Amino acid sequence: MTMNDHEAITPGNSYEARNEWAPTVPSVPAEAQPLILYDLAAIVVVVHQQRITLTRQGTVTKRCASLLRPLLHGSPWNDERREDAYVNMLCEAAKQLHLIYSSFSYDDDEDKPYYCPAIESGLGTWSQINVHEQARQFLAWWRGSSQWHDVWSPAFRQWDSRDWNPLAARGLFLDLLSSRIYVPGRWYSISALLDTIWSRGPYVLRPARLQESTRTQRVPSWLRQSWDSCEGIVYQGILSSTLSELGIISTDQHAGDMKTGVSRLPTRFGITEFGAQVLFEEATASTARPIKALVVQPSFEMILLRFDPPTLYRLLPFSEVQLVEQVSRLTLTQHSVLRGIERGISVDQMLALLKASSKQAIPQNVARTLRDWAKTYKEAETIQVLLIEVSGAAIADELCLSPHWRAFGLEKIAPCRLLAWNAHDIYAFRRVLRKAGFVLREEK
């Protein structure tokens, strides 16, 4: 087996030539997990379970952010105030992917906007597609989104901020990785990758200079060092943050790849098996079926033995989720079951979903307790109606029998009193009464 020009392990720096390093470095890239997809699911989970309130600026309140952050896996991204903005960045991604939306309510003296599950828009479709298609949809959005920030090294140094488009690096990377130049399951040097990008043109992230370079091919001799500290850091950041945390690639650091000193950045990368399925296989419109990977225990704890979005998202409306990872943990509680009933899911439907996803029979005490909890469900609805008092019983009968007033849903409840069930606009209804010749008494 021979290495191509893009593979960075030279004979002098290979694992085999440096036996003291061989035991600590895997022979092939380790399989990475799609942490960002776990985090998107966690956001939807929490939005199902509790109210995530927003500030007037549309960001998650600090109290809610502090509750959310321990559930997430993504690397911190510090904003201009040096505060971790990953929660807001992830919520914005979920919003742009139509998994959640912001709403407003004055219920319970709460006058702040909050996030709701976007069940009728994008969440219904997202919850049914497999994990590879979810990753493709995220990449398609991420490619051109300024709302998502890749994590760059503090060593980043800008050499010209007037002409700068870092989003172009994402498209370049996706095109390179999808071109099959890099074989899945093999390590490649990041420095050699940067050499390849440099050779294609140093001004990919600078549109004005890129246009100018079509007329002149002169590249200043000092540019490569500045490029490494700027563009090079951007490319490395994309590899070690977003693409790595989406599970597309694995990264690794090895002393044999370092020419001088010690680097805090990874020195090599490899496309994972998951990444190959996302990048190389054609997207399919078919939805994934739930797999039997659920274990329901008598303690009401549920373990989902693999990350299976169709199964996980089906359980969200009536369960409390403790952890979303490759192996997720959920719990059935009285509160979560009653919440599911409130959203229109009966206990029989819940048990059917559990049975369809479970590897074993549902424990009898779990089924029995779910039915007992359902008996405690109480529902009430407030309906706004209009009370009308007329001057005589004959007039009340005339109004109820006349087809002209049928649209207002009039109902006689006393000799001279009527209820109008469909008079939603009181001012419009008063105008109709006046046109019919009624003299309206002033409201007291």
In order, the DSSP letters of 356-411 are: HHBSSPPPHHHHHHHHHHHHT---------EEEE-S-HHHHHHHHH-GGGGGGTEE
Q: State yes or no: pLDDT of 4 exceeds 70.
A: no
For residues 89 and 403, the model is more confident at 89
Question: Is 153 found in the same domain as 268?
Answer: yes
Q: What is the pLDDT of residues 7-45, one digit of tens each?
A: 333 233 333 333 333 333 445 566 779 999 999 999 998
Q: What is the pLDDT of residues 193-214, one digit of tens each?
A: 999 999 888 999 998 888 776 6
CA 406 from chain center: how many Å? 48
Q: How far is it, in rounded angstroms, from Cα 184 to Cα 170?
A: 19
Question: Is 235 found in the same domain as 299?
Answer: no
Domain boundary at 66, 95, 127, which?
127
Q: Distance of CA 372 to CAs 141, 222, 224, 340, 378, Å?
A: 45, 75, 71, 14, 13
Report DSSP letters for 188-210, one per residue. Answer: EEHHHHHHHHHHH-TTTT-HHHH
Question: Is 158 found in the same domain as 257?
Answer: yes
Six token digits for residue 435: 């046109």
- What's the number of domains the chain is made of? 4
In a domain, 5, yes or no: no
Task: Find residue 302's DSSP bridge partners.
Answer: 296, 330
Question: Is 92 found in the same domain as 182?
Answer: no
Sequence-ordered list of residues with C-beta below 8 angstroms from that of 375, at least 6 positions apart, any chain: none
Q: What is the pLDDT of residue 247?
A: 95
Domain boundary at 127, 155, 190, which?
127
Six token digits for residue 68: 């959310």
**Amino acid at site 4:** N
Question: Is 355 found in the same domain as 215?
Answer: no
Cβ 182 vs Cβ 3: under 8 Å: no
Task: Find residue 331's DSSP bridge partners.
Answer: 301, 320
Cβ 39 vs Cβ 72: under 8 Å: yes
CATH number at residue 62: 1.10.10
Q: What is the pLDDT of residues 370-393, one digit of tens each?
A: 999 998 877 666 677 888 888 888
What value, to the nearest 5°, has the Cα angle with vertex 414 and ends 410 and 419? Answer: 25
Q: State yes or no: pLDDT of 444 exceeds 60.
A: no
In a domain, 380, yes or no: no
In a domain, 399, yes or no: yes
Instruction: Please tell me what DSSP assigns to residue 344.
Output: T
In a domain, 314, yes or no: yes
Percent of the chain predicted with pLDDT > 90: 50
For residues 237 and 28, the model is more confident at 237
Alpha helices in 10-162 (DSSP H): 35-49, 62-68, 86-96, 124-126, 131-142
Percent of the chain predicted with pLDDT > 70: 84
Cβ 182 vs Cβ 271: under 8 Å: yes
Q: How far is it, in rounded angstroms, from Cα 242 to Cα 139?
A: 10
Question: Is 157 found in the same domain as 19?
Answer: yes
Cβ 170 vs Cβ 251: under 8 Å: no
Sheet holding 328-331, edge to edge: 294-296, 301-304, 328-331, 320-323
Sequence-ordered list of residues with C-beta below 8 angstroms from that of 27, at least 6 positions apart, any chain: 15
Q: How far is it, in rounded angstroms, from Cα 325 to Cα 123?
A: 19
Instruction: Please tell me what DSSP assigns to residue 95.
Output: H
In a domain, 1, yes or no: no
Question: Is 324 found in the same domain as 254?
Answer: no
Question: Is 254 found in the same domain as 319?
Answer: no
Question: Is 58 found in the same domain as 21?
Answer: no
Cβ 329 vs Cβ 323: under 8 Å: yes
Alpha carbon dihedral 139, 134, 39, 56, in 10-degree steps, equals 70
Q: What is the pLDDT of residue 270?
A: 94
In a domain, 229, yes or no: yes
Sequence-ordered list of residues with C-beta below 8 angstroms from that of 232, at least 6 positions apart, any chain: 194
Domain boundary at 280, 310, 326, which?
280
Q: With bands split at pLDDT 50, 70 and 90, how would you rate the model's confidence at 78?
A: confident
Q: How far is it, in rounded angstroms, from Cα 221 to Cα 202?
A: 12
Give the lowest-confidence range in 17-21, 331-335, 431-435.
17-21
Q: What is the pLDDT of residues 141-182, one digit of tens each?
A: 999 999 999 999 999 999 988 899 999 999 999 999 999 999
Cβ 143 vs Cβ 170: under 8 Å: yes
Cβ 189 vs Cβ 7: under 8 Å: yes
Q: What is the mean pLDDT of the chain?
A: 84
Sequence-ordered list of residues with C-beta below 8 angstroms from that of 378, at least 6 positions apart, any chain: none
Q: With bands split at pLDDT 50, 70 and 90, how would you rate the model's confidence at 275?
A: very high
Segment (H or E) for 418: strand 417-420
Cβ 181 vs Cβ 6: under 8 Å: yes
Question: Is 231 found in the same domain as 151?
Answer: yes
In a domain, 238, yes or no: yes
Question: Is 272 found in the same domain as 361?
Answer: no
Q: State yes or no: pLDDT of 356 exceeds 50.
A: yes
Q: What is the pLDDT of residue 381?
A: 63
Domain around 414: 386-435
Question: Is 240 found in the same domain as 176?
Answer: yes
In a domain, 345, yes or no: yes
For residues 329 and 378, the model is more confident at 329
